[in-house]
Structure 1
Amino acid sequence: MKLYAIESGNFKLDGGAMFGVVPKSLWSKTNPADAHNLIDLAARCLLIEDGNRLLLIDNGMGNKQSDKFFSYYSLWGNHSIDTSLAKYGFHRDDITDVFLTHLHFDHCGGSVQWNKDKTGLEPAFKNARFWTNEKHWQWAIEPNAREKASFLKENILPIQESGQLHFLNRPEQEFGFSEELDFGILYVDGHTEKQMIPHIQYKDKTIVFCADLLPTVGHLPLPYVMGYDTRPLLTLNEKESFLKAAATNNYHLFLEHDAYNQIITVQETDKGVRLKEVFSCADIF
């Protein structure tokens, strides 16, 4: 097995929204804001090469939305799925599987693209199976008013219409091993219904793709919960349990949204679970 960090693009969001009820005087110590109160974020995806399988976890915002849409997110940097794949000798047509932690636009927007003459939409990975779970799919296609702006039908429905959509068999317990994809999945409901957090055994390490359970290093303290989360008190409990397990088992936490810290480990302290070490992907992969 080989792992590759795939940078799909950088963007910015309001710092207050990213940290909920936590005062700016506290969260700005780890995530400084610009003059518009925006903080730097990444959309860092993970590519797993294992035998004949080439599996991509999440794929960023994509590029099919309007200039007006992208102006809300202050895109910065030169990263893209295509350039990141090409760096390792791959093309999007090589991808056999796309695993979507959840269907918010900044995690799955790259799943779908315009066709050549821009008359319709098509899957951006034409040879891939797209994996989600049925409960989250139903949550996304019949969205609540709070999340409706994050679940965009143009990111979701073309996957189903093409016949490339697949549902994982979800275990009754919150953590289970996926026989289909050959890694463990933690199911969490605080951010959105049935978000999936992959746990990948890589050599002697457990690599955890944190998605929106732990967006950045700055979100390590328990009360630092995003304003975007639908059930913040549940996130608090889920994060506490997860971080204790991460400290006990020395998980290597792959941070999807932290623009400056790629992989971290954590440890128990008298203030709770806190940062232990920071690694680049090149250090680990």
Structure 2
Amino acid sequence: MVNQSSPVGFILLGFSEHPQLEKILFVVVLISYLLTLVGNTLIILLSVLDPRLHSPMYFFLSNLSFLDLCFTTSCVPQMLVNLWGPRKTISFLGCSVQLFIFLSLGTTECILLTVMAFDRYAAICQPLHYATIIHPRLCWQLAAVAWIIGLVESVVQTPPTLRLPFCPHHQVDDFVCEVPALIRLSCGDTTYNEVQMAVASVLILVVPLSLILVSYGAIARAVLRIDSAGGRRKAFGTCSSHLIVVTLLYGSVIAVYLQPKNPYAQKRGKFFSLFYAVGIPCLNPLIYTLRNKDVKRAFRRLLGKEVETRQS
């Protein structure tokens, strides 16, 4: 139900007090967005077209790439408009849609990274039974669970946030409509919303991160038992990209959703919001391709086929 006292729209302040910085950010965000579109689309195409990448690891990676495409597209076009000129408004409906998508896809990504950690655990700690454990049907089920949890989290948390009595100035001290920024905009009692956000943070951030750390603890023990140095490097190599992505995403999201209540933390939180909304979807394809020989070989094979097709 829409809050009857809700404003017609919001003003996304971003870094409006620093116009020159906004012009620089516009260029950075635009380039990052274009790289995000190209990089993630390429990973999806390679995962679909190359039979050698038809494995659970690349199935989840293509899911992550599709997720990043949707996640960044839900906020970056509006962000570019706001950074380019003095008009920084977003309608109440636009903010509501952005909040719903942002929450849903952000939650899905956290759960999907946990699923990917389980996949790496099964591959390294249970190599003989890997094909039996991570079968195609389970891959689809785990991916579906991640998307459903994200949808449920957004359905639960978005309406109470939008029903808050917002202050008359309508100024959101952020680049996007997200829960912490909208709670700070409220002039009423936000106790329920803060408790709800704290519980959601534990369930969506702390618990999955704990499971990932437990998985990597077991992986580290299994790798250290490998006699061959080459075998250890290969095992660590299959996990390093995922571990970097987990560190970047969880570190920035925790800095926003579990930050203390003070002006410095809120100002710092805007940088982290910008980073996980724009930077991480751009970096993910680079991290996975630059450190993954299979993806680089698939890309070369794809280019080779295109060259052969043109020559014929």
Q: TM-score, normalised by structure 1?
A: 0.25
Larger radius of gyration: 2
Instruction: Considering Cα pairs closer than 8 Å and 6+ residues apart, tell me whether 1 or 2 has the greater RCO.
Output: 2
Q: Tell me the TM-score normalized by structure 2.
A: 0.24
Greater strand proportion: 1
* Structure (1/2) with the larger helix percentage: 2
